[in-house]
Chain A
Amino acid sequence: MIERRPGLTALSHGVMILGVLAIAFPLYLAFVASTHLPGEIMQVPMPLTPGSHFWDSYGAALAGRGHVGGGGSVSRMIWVSLVITLIITFGKISISLLSAFAVVYFRFPLRSLCFWAIFITLMLPVEVRIGPTYEVVARLGMVNSFAGLSIPLIASATATFLFRQFFLTIPDELVEAARVDGAGPMRFFFDILLPMSVTSIAALFVIQFIYGWNQYLWPLIIATSEEMYPVVVGIKAMIGSEVAVDWNVVMATAVLAMLPPAAVVLLMQKWFVKGLVDTEK
Protein backbone atom coordinates (compact mmCIF):
# COMPACT_ATOMS: atom_id res chain seq x y z
CA MET A 1 0.00 0.00 0.00
CA ILE A 2 1.40 3.35 -0.93
CA GLU A 3 1.32 5.78 1.89
CA ARG A 4 3.76 8.60 2.15
CA ARG A 5 4.18 9.51 5.73
CA PRO A 6 7.84 10.08 6.31
CA GLY A 7 7.17 11.57 9.72
CA LEU A 8 5.49 8.41 10.91
CA THR A 9 8.24 6.24 9.49
CA ALA A 10 10.82 8.34 11.25
CA LEU A 11 8.84 8.04 14.47
CA SER A 12 8.59 4.30 14.00
CA HIS A 13 12.30 3.95 13.61
CA GLY A 14 12.80 6.29 16.52
CA VAL A 15 10.63 4.22 18.79
CA MET A 16 12.26 1.01 17.67
CA ILE A 17 15.73 2.39 18.26
CA LEU A 18 14.69 3.56 21.69
CA GLY A 19 13.26 0.14 22.42
CA VAL A 20 16.34 -1.60 21.16
CA LEU A 21 18.56 0.67 23.27
CA ALA A 22 16.54 0.05 26.39
CA ILE A 23 16.56 -3.67 25.82
CA ALA A 24 20.16 -3.93 24.80
CA PHE A 25 21.54 -1.61 27.43
CA PRO A 26 21.77 -4.03 30.35
CA LEU A 27 23.34 -6.61 28.06
CA TYR A 28 25.78 -4.12 26.65
CA LEU A 29 26.68 -2.92 30.10
CA ALA A 30 27.31 -6.45 31.27
CA PHE A 31 29.70 -7.00 28.43
CA VAL A 32 31.51 -3.75 29.05
CA ALA A 33 31.82 -4.45 32.74
CA SER A 34 33.30 -7.82 32.02
CA THR A 35 36.18 -6.23 30.20
CA HIS A 36 37.34 -3.96 32.98
CA LEU A 37 39.14 -4.37 36.27
CA PRO A 38 37.08 -4.41 39.44
CA GLY A 39 38.52 -1.08 40.46
CA GLU A 40 37.47 0.56 37.21
CA ILE A 41 33.91 -0.62 37.66
CA MET A 42 33.62 0.58 41.18
CA GLN A 43 34.49 4.12 40.34
CA VAL A 44 31.36 6.07 39.72
CA PRO A 45 30.29 6.25 36.98
CA MET A 46 31.86 3.25 35.38
CA PRO A 47 33.19 3.61 31.85
CA LEU A 48 30.70 2.88 29.11
CA THR A 49 33.12 1.59 26.56
CA PRO A 50 34.78 -1.79 26.60
CA GLY A 51 38.06 -2.03 28.45
CA SER A 52 41.05 -4.17 27.71
CA HIS A 53 40.86 -6.74 30.45
CA PHE A 54 38.67 -9.23 28.65
CA TRP A 55 40.77 -12.25 29.39
CA ASP A 56 41.29 -11.33 33.02
CA SER A 57 37.63 -11.48 33.82
CA TYR A 58 36.67 -14.43 31.69
CA GLY A 59 39.71 -16.38 32.70
CA ALA A 60 39.01 -15.77 36.35
CA ALA A 61 35.39 -16.69 35.95
CA LEU A 62 36.01 -19.91 34.11
CA ALA A 63 38.71 -21.03 36.51
CA GLY A 64 36.86 -20.08 39.62
CA ARG A 65 39.23 -17.42 40.77
CA GLY A 66 38.19 -13.95 41.68
CA HIS A 67 36.66 -12.48 44.78
CA VAL A 68 33.07 -13.61 44.68
CA GLY A 69 30.48 -14.75 47.15
CA GLY A 70 30.47 -18.37 46.12
CA GLY A 71 29.94 -20.76 43.24
CA GLY A 72 33.20 -22.19 42.13
CA SER A 73 34.43 -22.32 38.56
CA VAL A 74 32.11 -21.15 35.85
CA SER A 75 33.34 -23.78 33.45
CA ARG A 76 32.08 -26.46 35.82
CA MET A 77 28.81 -24.60 36.20
CA ILE A 78 28.29 -24.32 32.50
CA TRP A 79 28.94 -27.99 32.16
CA VAL A 80 26.32 -28.76 34.80
CA SER A 81 23.84 -26.44 33.11
CA LEU A 82 24.48 -28.06 29.76
CA VAL A 83 23.98 -31.58 31.04
CA ILE A 84 20.80 -30.74 32.90
CA THR A 85 19.37 -28.74 30.02
CA LEU A 86 20.03 -31.39 27.46
CA ILE A 87 18.56 -34.10 29.67
CA ILE A 88 15.47 -32.02 30.18
CA THR A 89 15.15 -31.05 26.52
CA PHE A 90 15.67 -34.49 25.03
CA GLY A 91 13.79 -36.18 27.84
CA LYS A 92 10.76 -34.00 27.50
CA ILE A 93 10.63 -34.17 23.73
CA SER A 94 10.99 -37.94 23.57
CA ILE A 95 8.44 -38.91 26.16
CA SER A 96 6.01 -36.31 24.90
CA LEU A 97 6.24 -37.57 21.34
CA LEU A 98 5.49 -41.07 22.51
CA SER A 99 2.63 -40.03 24.75
CA ALA A 100 1.03 -37.81 22.14
CA PHE A 101 1.32 -40.61 19.61
CA ALA A 102 -0.38 -43.03 22.00
CA VAL A 103 -3.17 -40.64 22.84
CA VAL A 104 -3.97 -39.64 19.26
CA TYR A 105 -3.52 -42.81 17.30
CA PHE A 106 -4.78 -45.50 19.63
CA ARG A 107 -7.96 -46.18 21.45
CA PHE A 108 -7.39 -47.76 24.82
CA PRO A 109 -9.30 -47.87 28.07
CA LEU A 110 -8.67 -44.89 30.36
CA ARG A 111 -7.22 -42.96 27.45
CA SER A 112 -9.13 -39.83 28.43
CA LEU A 113 -8.09 -40.21 32.02
CA CYS A 114 -4.43 -40.52 31.10
CA PHE A 115 -4.64 -37.51 28.89
CA TRP A 116 -6.25 -35.37 31.56
CA ALA A 117 -3.77 -36.58 34.14
CA ILE A 118 -0.95 -35.36 31.95
CA PHE A 119 -2.85 -32.22 31.11
CA ILE A 120 -3.31 -31.25 34.74
CA THR A 121 0.43 -30.91 35.15
CA LEU A 122 0.19 -27.82 32.98
CA MET A 123 -1.64 -26.18 35.78
CA LEU A 124 0.95 -26.55 38.47
CA PRO A 125 4.41 -25.24 37.79
CA VAL A 126 7.19 -26.57 39.94
CA GLU A 127 7.28 -23.44 42.09
CA VAL A 128 3.99 -24.44 43.60
CA ARG A 129 4.99 -27.90 44.72
CA ILE A 130 8.64 -27.50 45.60
CA GLY A 131 8.44 -28.68 49.19
CA PRO A 132 6.90 -32.10 48.72
CA THR A 133 8.66 -32.71 45.43
CA TYR A 134 11.91 -32.15 47.25
CA GLU A 135 10.90 -34.74 49.80
CA VAL A 136 10.10 -37.26 47.09
CA VAL A 137 13.43 -36.64 45.41
CA ALA A 138 15.21 -36.96 48.75
CA ARG A 139 13.44 -40.19 49.45
CA LEU A 140 14.60 -41.53 46.10
CA GLY A 141 18.14 -40.54 46.95
CA MET A 142 18.41 -38.19 44.00
CA VAL A 143 19.34 -35.04 45.85
CA ASN A 144 22.36 -33.19 44.48
CA SER A 145 22.58 -35.38 41.39
CA PHE A 146 22.10 -34.75 37.70
CA ALA A 147 19.04 -36.98 37.79
CA GLY A 148 17.48 -35.09 40.66
CA LEU A 149 18.17 -31.80 38.96
CA SER A 150 16.52 -32.75 35.69
CA ILE A 151 14.00 -35.59 35.84
CA PRO A 152 11.38 -33.91 38.02
CA LEU A 153 11.25 -31.10 35.50
CA ILE A 154 10.30 -33.43 32.67
CA ALA A 155 6.90 -33.95 34.26
CA SER A 156 5.05 -31.10 32.64
CA ALA A 157 2.82 -31.42 29.65
CA THR A 158 3.43 -28.51 27.29
CA ALA A 159 5.26 -30.64 24.80
CA THR A 160 2.69 -33.44 24.87
CA PHE A 161 -0.05 -30.95 24.26
CA LEU A 162 1.74 -29.32 21.36
CA PHE A 163 2.50 -32.61 19.66
CA ARG A 164 -1.03 -33.80 20.14
CA GLN A 165 -2.42 -30.69 18.49
CA PHE A 166 0.00 -31.15 15.64
CA PHE A 167 -0.73 -34.85 15.16
CA LEU A 168 -4.42 -34.10 14.91
CA THR A 169 -3.75 -32.02 11.80
CA ILE A 170 -2.10 -34.83 9.89
CA PRO A 171 -4.53 -36.13 7.26
CA ASP A 172 -6.06 -39.51 7.95
CA GLU A 173 -5.31 -40.64 4.44
CA LEU A 174 -1.61 -40.62 5.14
CA VAL A 175 -2.09 -43.15 7.91
CA GLU A 176 -4.29 -45.25 5.66
CA ALA A 177 -1.76 -45.19 2.85
CA ALA A 178 0.88 -46.30 5.33
CA ARG A 179 -1.33 -49.14 6.51
CA VAL A 180 -1.91 -50.23 2.96
CA ASP A 181 1.84 -50.07 2.44
CA GLY A 182 2.19 -52.42 5.37
CA ALA A 183 3.57 -50.03 7.97
CA GLY A 184 2.77 -50.93 11.55
CA PRO A 185 2.31 -48.23 14.20
CA MET A 186 5.97 -47.87 15.22
CA ARG A 187 7.12 -47.88 11.62
CA PHE A 188 4.60 -45.17 10.85
CA PHE A 189 5.86 -43.24 13.85
CA PHE A 190 9.51 -43.29 12.82
CA ASP A 191 9.21 -43.19 9.03
CA ILE A 192 6.39 -40.73 8.61
CA LEU A 193 5.19 -38.98 11.74
CA LEU A 194 8.59 -37.91 13.06
CA PRO A 195 9.93 -36.47 9.79
CA MET A 196 6.73 -34.50 9.43
CA SER A 197 7.06 -33.14 12.96
CA VAL A 198 10.51 -31.66 12.52
CA THR A 199 9.38 -28.02 12.74
CA SER A 200 7.46 -28.63 15.94
CA ILE A 201 10.35 -30.52 17.43
CA ALA A 202 12.74 -27.72 16.52
CA ALA A 203 10.54 -25.07 18.08
CA LEU A 204 10.09 -27.12 21.18
CA PHE A 205 13.81 -27.71 21.38
CA VAL A 206 14.41 -23.99 21.69
CA ILE A 207 11.64 -23.46 24.21
CA GLN A 208 12.68 -26.39 26.39
CA PHE A 209 16.35 -25.52 26.16
CA ILE A 210 15.66 -22.04 27.48
CA TYR A 211 13.34 -23.47 30.11
CA GLY A 212 15.89 -25.96 31.31
CA TRP A 213 18.85 -23.60 31.20
CA ASN A 214 17.04 -20.88 33.12
CA GLN A 215 15.74 -23.11 35.92
CA TYR A 216 16.56 -21.44 39.19
CA LEU A 217 14.34 -22.34 42.11
CA TRP A 218 14.50 -26.06 41.68
CA PRO A 219 18.29 -26.38 41.38
CA LEU A 220 18.63 -23.93 44.24
CA ILE A 221 16.96 -26.44 46.47
CA ILE A 222 18.26 -29.67 45.06
CA ALA A 223 21.91 -28.81 44.53
CA THR A 224 23.55 -28.88 47.92
CA SER A 225 27.14 -28.63 46.85
CA GLU A 226 28.74 -25.96 44.71
CA GLU A 227 29.92 -28.35 42.06
CA MET A 228 26.34 -29.20 41.17
CA TYR A 229 25.30 -25.61 40.69
CA PRO A 230 24.06 -24.72 37.24
CA VAL A 231 25.42 -21.41 36.10
CA VAL A 232 22.23 -19.47 36.87
CA VAL A 233 22.34 -20.55 40.50
CA GLY A 234 26.05 -19.95 40.69
CA ILE A 235 25.81 -16.42 39.50
CA LYS A 236 23.34 -15.50 42.20
CA ALA A 237 25.55 -17.13 44.80
CA MET A 238 28.36 -14.94 43.56
CA ILE A 239 26.71 -11.70 44.48
CA GLY A 240 25.58 -13.38 47.69
CA SER A 241 25.83 -11.32 50.79
CA GLU A 242 29.30 -9.95 50.33
CA VAL A 243 29.49 -6.34 49.38
CA ALA A 244 32.95 -6.27 47.89
CA VAL A 245 32.56 -8.59 44.96
CA ASP A 246 34.60 -8.68 41.79
CA TRP A 247 31.86 -7.41 39.54
CA ASN A 248 33.84 -7.90 36.41
CA VAL A 249 33.92 -11.60 37.14
CA VAL A 250 30.23 -11.61 37.90
CA MET A 251 29.44 -9.85 34.63
CA ALA A 252 31.71 -12.15 32.72
CA THR A 253 29.75 -15.02 34.21
CA ALA A 254 26.51 -13.34 33.22
CA VAL A 255 27.67 -13.03 29.64
CA LEU A 256 28.81 -16.63 29.59
CA ALA A 257 25.50 -17.70 31.08
CA MET A 258 23.63 -15.92 28.33
CA LEU A 259 25.60 -17.25 25.40
CA PRO A 260 24.23 -20.78 24.93
CA PRO A 261 20.53 -19.84 25.12
CA ALA A 262 21.10 -16.77 22.97
CA ALA A 263 22.92 -18.90 20.44
CA VAL A 264 20.10 -21.41 20.37
CA VAL A 265 17.48 -18.68 19.96
CA LEU A 266 19.37 -16.86 17.24
CA LEU A 267 20.25 -19.95 15.25
CA MET A 268 16.75 -21.33 15.35
CA GLN A 269 14.94 -18.04 15.33
CA LYS A 270 12.61 -18.86 12.48
CA TRP A 271 11.30 -22.14 13.83
CA PHE A 272 11.24 -20.86 17.35
CA VAL A 273 9.04 -17.87 16.65
CA LYS A 274 6.66 -19.92 14.56
CA GLY A 275 6.56 -22.71 17.11
CA LEU A 276 6.04 -20.42 20.08
CA VAL A 277 3.10 -18.66 18.53
CA ASP A 278 1.55 -21.84 17.21
CA THR A 279 2.02 -23.71 20.49
CA GLU A 280 0.23 -21.36 22.73
CA LYS A 281 -2.60 -20.91 20.31
Chain B
Amino acid sequence: MEKRVLFRSRWLPWALIAPQLLIVAVFFFWPALQALMQSLQQQDAFGGSVSWVGLDNFRALFNDETYLNSFKITIEFSVLVTVLGLAIAMALAIFADRIVKGAAFYKTVLILPYAVAPVVTGVLFSFMFSNSFGVVTFWLHRMGIEWNHLINANDAMALVVMAAVWKQISYNFLFFLAGLQSIPKSLIEAAAIDGAGPLRRFWNIQLPLLSPTTFFLLVINMVYAFFDTFAIIDAVTQGGPGKDTATLVYRVYFDGFRGMDFGSAAAQSVVLMAIVIALTVIQFRWVEKKVHY
Protein backbone atom coordinates (compact mmCIF):
# COMPACT_ATOMS: atom_id res chain seq x y z
CA MET B 1 0.00 0.00 0.00
CA GLU B 2 2.98 2.26 0.35
CA LYS B 3 3.78 4.84 -2.20
CA ARG B 4 6.92 6.80 -1.59
CA VAL B 5 5.41 10.07 -2.71
CA LEU B 6 2.51 11.49 -0.80
CA PHE B 7 0.61 14.69 -0.52
CA ARG B 8 0.43 16.44 2.80
CA SER B 9 -2.90 17.55 4.13
CA ARG B 10 -4.75 17.17 7.36
CA TRP B 11 -8.32 17.32 6.23
CA LEU B 12 -8.36 16.57 2.50
CA PRO B 13 -8.07 12.77 2.63
CA TRP B 14 -10.95 12.65 5.07
CA ALA B 15 -13.09 14.79 2.82
CA LEU B 16 -12.30 12.54 -0.13
CA ILE B 17 -13.08 9.31 1.60
CA ALA B 18 -16.10 10.56 3.52
CA PRO B 19 -18.79 9.93 0.88
CA GLN B 20 -17.90 6.29 0.54
CA LEU B 21 -17.44 5.78 4.26
CA LEU B 22 -20.79 7.38 4.91
CA ILE B 23 -22.63 5.18 2.47
CA VAL B 24 -20.81 2.10 3.64
CA ALA B 25 -21.58 2.89 7.26
CA VAL B 26 -25.26 3.57 6.71
CA PHE B 27 -26.09 0.92 4.16
CA PHE B 28 -23.66 -1.75 5.06
CA PHE B 29 -22.39 -1.82 8.59
CA TRP B 30 -25.56 -0.66 10.25
CA PRO B 31 -27.70 -3.30 8.50
CA ALA B 32 -25.08 -5.95 9.05
CA LEU B 33 -25.12 -5.24 12.75
CA GLN B 34 -28.92 -5.22 12.71
CA ALA B 35 -28.88 -8.59 11.04
CA LEU B 36 -26.63 -9.94 13.75
CA MET B 37 -28.86 -8.54 16.44
CA GLN B 38 -32.08 -9.68 14.84
CA SER B 39 -30.78 -13.16 14.43
CA LEU B 40 -30.68 -13.34 18.18
CA GLN B 41 -34.18 -12.02 18.62
CA GLN B 42 -37.72 -13.14 18.02
CA GLN B 43 -40.46 -10.78 16.97
CA ASP B 44 -43.99 -11.54 18.06
CA ALA B 45 -46.60 -12.21 15.37
CA PHE B 46 -47.88 -8.67 15.18
CA GLY B 47 -44.51 -7.01 15.07
CA GLY B 48 -45.15 -5.53 18.49
CA SER B 49 -42.32 -6.51 20.76
CA VAL B 50 -39.02 -8.25 20.47
CA SER B 51 -37.45 -10.68 22.86
CA TRP B 52 -33.93 -11.97 23.07
CA VAL B 53 -33.75 -15.63 22.34
CA GLY B 54 -30.04 -16.14 22.02
CA LEU B 55 -29.15 -18.84 19.56
CA ASP B 56 -32.68 -20.22 19.36
CA ASN B 57 -33.17 -19.02 15.80
CA PHE B 58 -30.01 -20.76 14.74
CA ARG B 59 -30.96 -23.92 16.58
CA ALA B 60 -34.36 -23.87 14.92
CA LEU B 61 -32.72 -23.44 11.56
CA PHE B 62 -30.35 -26.32 11.86
CA ASN B 63 -33.07 -28.56 13.19
CA ASP B 64 -35.31 -27.67 10.28
CA GLU B 65 -35.12 -30.37 7.65
CA THR B 66 -36.18 -28.10 4.87
CA TYR B 67 -33.39 -25.68 5.75
CA LEU B 68 -30.79 -28.40 5.71
CA ASN B 69 -32.33 -29.49 2.45
CA SER B 70 -31.75 -26.00 1.17
CA PHE B 71 -28.06 -26.46 1.89
CA LYS B 72 -28.09 -29.60 -0.13
CA ILE B 73 -29.95 -27.95 -2.96
CA THR B 74 -27.62 -24.98 -2.94
CA ILE B 75 -24.54 -27.15 -3.07
CA GLU B 76 -25.98 -29.35 -5.79
CA PHE B 77 -26.94 -26.31 -7.80
CA SER B 78 -23.59 -24.61 -7.31
CA VAL B 79 -21.56 -27.63 -8.27
CA LEU B 80 -23.59 -28.24 -11.41
CA VAL B 81 -23.47 -24.62 -12.49
CA THR B 82 -19.76 -24.32 -11.77
CA VAL B 83 -18.65 -27.52 -13.43
CA LEU B 84 -20.82 -27.14 -16.51
CA GLY B 85 -20.12 -23.45 -16.79
CA LEU B 86 -16.37 -23.92 -16.63
CA ALA B 87 -16.22 -26.96 -18.89
CA ILE B 88 -18.30 -25.49 -21.68
CA ALA B 89 -16.59 -22.13 -21.49
CA MET B 90 -13.17 -23.69 -21.54
CA ALA B 91 -14.04 -25.78 -24.58
CA LEU B 92 -15.31 -22.72 -26.40
CA ALA B 93 -12.26 -20.71 -25.41
CA ILE B 94 -9.87 -23.35 -26.63
CA PHE B 95 -11.46 -23.57 -30.03
CA ALA B 96 -11.84 -19.83 -30.24
CA ASP B 97 -8.15 -19.46 -29.54
CA ARG B 98 -7.31 -21.59 -32.54
CA ILE B 99 -9.16 -19.68 -35.17
CA VAL B 100 -8.38 -16.40 -36.75
CA LYS B 101 -11.21 -15.93 -39.22
CA GLY B 102 -14.47 -14.92 -37.66
CA ALA B 103 -12.98 -14.80 -34.17
CA ALA B 104 -14.35 -11.34 -33.56
CA PHE B 105 -17.83 -12.39 -34.57
CA TYR B 106 -17.85 -15.47 -32.35
CA LYS B 107 -16.49 -13.51 -29.47
CA THR B 108 -19.09 -10.78 -29.81
CA VAL B 109 -21.98 -13.20 -29.80
CA LEU B 110 -20.56 -15.16 -26.90
CA ILE B 111 -20.27 -12.05 -24.79
CA LEU B 112 -23.92 -11.11 -25.23
CA PRO B 113 -25.35 -13.12 -22.33
CA TYR B 114 -23.28 -10.98 -19.98
CA ALA B 115 -25.53 -8.09 -20.92
CA VAL B 116 -28.73 -10.03 -20.35
CA ALA B 117 -30.23 -9.58 -16.90
CA PRO B 118 -30.46 -12.81 -14.91
CA VAL B 119 -34.19 -12.38 -14.53
CA VAL B 120 -34.61 -11.91 -18.25
CA THR B 121 -32.62 -15.09 -18.72
CA GLY B 122 -35.11 -16.76 -16.43
CA VAL B 123 -38.03 -15.41 -18.41
CA LEU B 124 -36.49 -16.54 -21.69
CA PHE B 125 -35.92 -20.04 -20.43
CA SER B 126 -39.40 -20.18 -18.93
CA PHE B 127 -40.67 -19.26 -22.31
CA MET B 128 -38.65 -21.88 -24.16
CA PHE B 129 -39.48 -24.64 -21.75
CA SER B 130 -43.07 -23.72 -21.05
CA ASN B 131 -45.28 -26.73 -20.59
CA SER B 132 -47.99 -25.51 -22.86
CA PHE B 133 -46.23 -23.86 -25.75
CA GLY B 134 -42.50 -23.99 -25.19
CA VAL B 135 -40.52 -24.76 -28.31
CA VAL B 136 -37.95 -26.86 -26.54
CA THR B 137 -40.60 -28.72 -24.59
CA PHE B 138 -42.21 -29.54 -27.88
CA TRP B 139 -38.99 -30.98 -29.31
CA LEU B 140 -38.34 -32.93 -26.14
CA HIS B 141 -41.76 -34.49 -26.31
CA ARG B 142 -41.14 -35.26 -29.95
CA MET B 143 -37.97 -37.10 -28.93
CA GLY B 144 -39.89 -39.01 -26.33
CA ILE B 145 -38.53 -37.21 -23.30
CA GLU B 146 -41.00 -36.33 -20.61
CA TRP B 147 -40.55 -32.83 -19.33
CA ASN B 148 -42.41 -30.97 -16.65
CA HIS B 149 -40.44 -28.67 -14.46
CA LEU B 150 -43.50 -27.62 -12.55
CA ILE B 151 -43.89 -31.06 -11.09
CA ASN B 152 -40.62 -32.84 -11.49
CA ALA B 153 -37.92 -31.61 -9.11
CA ASN B 154 -35.10 -32.83 -11.31
CA ASP B 155 -36.48 -31.09 -14.36
CA ALA B 156 -36.82 -27.91 -12.33
CA MET B 157 -33.23 -28.14 -11.15
CA ALA B 158 -32.07 -28.87 -14.69
CA LEU B 159 -33.86 -25.82 -16.00
CA VAL B 160 -32.44 -23.38 -13.49
CA VAL B 161 -29.01 -24.89 -13.98
CA MET B 162 -29.27 -24.45 -17.73
CA ALA B 163 -30.38 -20.86 -17.40
CA ALA B 164 -27.63 -20.06 -14.92
CA VAL B 165 -24.95 -21.74 -17.02
CA TRP B 166 -26.10 -20.00 -20.19
CA LYS B 167 -25.69 -16.69 -18.46
CA GLN B 168 -22.33 -17.42 -16.93
CA ILE B 169 -20.62 -18.80 -20.01
CA SER B 170 -19.74 -15.34 -21.32
CA TYR B 171 -17.85 -14.38 -18.18
CA ASN B 172 -15.96 -17.64 -17.95
CA PHE B 173 -15.23 -17.61 -21.67
CA LEU B 174 -13.68 -14.16 -21.50
CA PHE B 175 -11.37 -15.16 -18.70
CA PHE B 176 -10.35 -18.44 -20.25
CA LEU B 177 -9.65 -16.77 -23.55
CA ALA B 178 -7.57 -14.10 -21.88
CA GLY B 179 -5.74 -16.78 -19.93
CA LEU B 180 -4.99 -18.76 -23.07
CA GLN B 181 -3.80 -15.73 -24.93
CA SER B 182 -1.44 -14.81 -22.15
CA ILE B 183 0.45 -18.07 -22.54
CA PRO B 184 3.64 -17.14 -24.41
CA LYS B 185 3.49 -18.33 -28.00
CA SER B 186 7.06 -19.51 -27.65
CA LEU B 187 5.97 -22.28 -25.27
CA ILE B 188 3.46 -23.64 -27.76
CA GLU B 189 6.00 -23.40 -30.53
CA ALA B 190 8.63 -25.18 -28.50
CA ALA B 191 6.18 -27.98 -27.78
CA ALA B 192 5.30 -28.23 -31.46
CA ILE B 193 8.96 -28.55 -32.33
CA ASP B 194 9.23 -31.23 -29.69
CA GLY B 195 6.61 -33.10 -31.64
CA ALA B 196 3.52 -32.51 -29.53
CA GLY B 197 0.25 -32.42 -31.45
CA PRO B 198 -2.65 -30.13 -30.55
CA LEU B 199 -4.26 -32.51 -28.08
CA ARG B 200 -1.03 -33.14 -26.24
CA ARG B 201 -0.20 -29.47 -26.21
CA PHE B 202 -3.56 -28.72 -24.68
CA TRP B 203 -3.21 -31.38 -22.04
CA ASN B 204 0.41 -30.79 -21.08
CA ILE B 205 0.85 -27.09 -21.55
CA GLN B 206 -2.27 -25.04 -21.95
CA LEU B 207 -4.35 -26.74 -19.29
CA PRO B 208 -1.72 -26.58 -16.54
CA LEU B 209 -0.85 -22.99 -17.37
CA LEU B 210 -4.52 -22.18 -17.27
CA SER B 211 -4.90 -23.50 -13.75
CA PRO B 212 -4.67 -20.12 -11.97
CA THR B 213 -7.52 -18.87 -14.14
CA THR B 214 -9.43 -22.07 -13.49
CA PHE B 215 -9.07 -21.85 -9.73
CA PHE B 216 -10.02 -18.22 -9.79
CA LEU B 217 -13.14 -18.90 -11.86
CA LEU B 218 -13.99 -21.82 -9.62
CA VAL B 219 -14.42 -19.54 -6.66
CA ILE B 220 -16.13 -16.80 -8.64
CA ASN B 221 -18.61 -19.28 -10.08
CA MET B 222 -19.38 -20.76 -6.69
CA VAL B 223 -20.09 -17.31 -5.31
CA TYR B 224 -22.20 -16.54 -8.38
CA ALA B 225 -24.18 -19.72 -7.98
CA PHE B 226 -24.71 -19.10 -4.32
CA PHE B 227 -25.84 -15.52 -4.54
CA ASP B 228 -26.37 -14.01 -7.94
CA THR B 229 -28.87 -16.57 -9.12
CA PHE B 230 -31.81 -15.40 -7.07
CA ALA B 231 -33.36 -13.68 -10.05
CA ILE B 232 -33.15 -16.72 -12.27
CA ILE B 233 -34.79 -18.94 -9.70
CA ASP B 234 -37.50 -16.43 -8.99
CA ALA B 235 -38.28 -16.11 -12.66
CA VAL B 236 -38.28 -19.77 -13.52
CA THR B 237 -39.48 -21.81 -10.59
CA GLN B 238 -39.98 -19.47 -7.65
CA GLY B 239 -38.08 -22.01 -5.64
CA GLY B 240 -40.45 -24.79 -6.62
CA PRO B 241 -41.79 -27.26 -7.10
CA GLY B 242 -42.42 -26.96 -3.38
CA LYS B 243 -39.02 -26.00 -2.10
CA ASP B 244 -37.01 -28.11 -4.48
CA THR B 245 -35.07 -25.32 -6.10
CA ALA B 246 -35.00 -22.98 -3.14
CA THR B 247 -31.37 -22.16 -2.61
CA LEU B 248 -30.23 -20.52 0.62
CA VAL B 249 -30.52 -17.02 -0.81
CA TYR B 250 -33.99 -17.71 -2.06
CA ARG B 251 -35.06 -18.88 1.34
CA VAL B 252 -33.85 -15.72 3.02
CA TYR B 253 -36.07 -13.71 0.72
CA PHE B 254 -38.98 -16.10 1.02
CA ASP B 255 -38.95 -16.47 4.78
CA GLY B 256 -38.23 -12.83 5.39
CA PHE B 257 -40.45 -11.06 2.93
CA ARG B 258 -43.18 -13.52 2.23
CA GLY B 259 -43.24 -15.50 5.41
CA MET B 260 -42.53 -12.43 7.58
CA ASP B 261 -40.29 -14.44 9.87
CA PHE B 262 -37.64 -11.83 10.43
CA GLY B 263 -35.75 -13.63 13.14
CA SER B 264 -35.26 -16.68 11.02
CA ALA B 265 -34.43 -14.64 7.94
CA ALA B 266 -31.88 -12.68 9.93
CA ALA B 267 -30.32 -15.84 11.24
CA GLN B 268 -30.18 -17.22 7.71
CA SER B 269 -28.53 -14.01 6.56
CA VAL B 270 -25.90 -14.40 9.23
CA VAL B 271 -25.23 -17.95 8.10
CA LEU B 272 -24.89 -16.73 4.53
CA MET B 273 -22.57 -13.96 5.64
CA ALA B 274 -20.33 -16.50 7.27
CA ILE B 275 -20.25 -18.58 4.11
CA VAL B 276 -19.42 -15.64 1.87
CA ILE B 277 -16.67 -14.49 4.17
CA ALA B 278 -15.23 -17.97 4.17
CA LEU B 279 -15.36 -18.17 0.38
CA THR B 280 -13.85 -14.73 -0.08
CA VAL B 281 -11.07 -15.49 2.34
CA ILE B 282 -10.36 -18.70 0.47
CA GLN B 283 -10.26 -16.79 -2.76
CA PHE B 284 -7.87 -14.20 -1.50
CA ARG B 285 -5.57 -16.47 0.39
CA TRP B 286 -5.42 -19.62 -1.63
CA VAL B 287 -6.17 -18.45 -5.13
CA GLU B 288 -4.03 -15.33 -4.93
CA LYS B 289 -1.10 -17.42 -3.86
CA LYS B 290 -1.46 -19.63 -6.86
CA VAL B 291 -2.03 -16.82 -9.28
CA HIS B 292 0.98 -14.74 -8.44
CA TYR B 293 4.21 -16.26 -9.51
- A residues neighboring B (CB under 8 Å): 1, 3, 5, 8-9, 11-13, 15-16, 19-20, 22-24, 26-27, 29-30, 33, 41-46, 48, 94-96, 98-99, 101-108, 111-112, 114-115, 117-118, 121-125, 127-133, 135-137, 140, 151-152, 154-155, 157, 160, 168, 172, 175-176, 179, 184-186, 188, 210, 213-214, 216-217, 220-221, 232-233, 235-236, 239, 243, 247, 250-251, 254, 257-258, 261-262, 264-266, 269, 273, 276-277, 280-281
Contact = CB atoms under 8 A, between A and B. Distances in A.
B123 A236 contact: yes
Given A23-B112, A216-B118, A236-B123, A133 B27 contact: yes
Contacts of A243: 132
Given A48-B135, A129-B273, 16 more contacts: A11-B95, A12-B96, A16-B95, A27-B124, A30-B127, A106-B13, A123-B280, A125-B276, A127-B252, A128-B273, A132-B30, A135-B34, A157-B24, A236-B231, A239-B235, A251-B127
The 10 closest A-B pairs by CB, nearest first: A132-B34, A132-B31, A106-B13, A216-B231, A102-B16, A214-B117, A261-B115, A133-B31, A185-B7, A102-B13
B189 interface: yes
Contacts of A124: 28, 32, 273, 276-277
B119 A235 contact: yes
Contacts of A239: 123, 126, 235
Contact of B123 (A11, A235, A277): A235
Instruction: Determine the main DSSP class of B at the interface with A.
Output: helix
Contacts of B139: 45
B239 to A, nearest CB: 13
Contacts of B49: none
B68 interface: no
- Judged by DSSP, the binding face of A is helix
B31 to A, nearest CB: 4
Given A106-B6, A111-B13, A127-B227, A277 B192 contact: no
Given A19-B106, A20-B110, A99-B20, A136 B98 contact: no
Nearest to A233: B119
B289 interface: no
A129 B128 CA distance: 33
Given A105-B7, A250-B123, A262 B112 contact: yes
A176 B5 contact: yes
Interface hub of A96, A123, A220, A233 (most chain B Cβ within 10 A): A123
B138 to A, nearest CB: 4
A262 B105 CA distance: 15
B38 A151 contact: no
Contacts of A24: 109, 112
A167 B62 CA distance: 46
A130 B252 contact: yes
Contacts of A151: 23, 27
A217 B23 contact: no
Contacts of B257: 130-131, 221
B160 interface: no
A89 to B, nearest CB: 14
Nearest to B230: A217
B115 A15 contact: no
Interface in B88-140: 88, 91-92, 95-96, 98-99, 102, 106, 108-128, 132-133, 135, 138-139
A198 B167 CA distance: 28
Interface in B253-270: 253, 256-257, 262, 265-266, 269
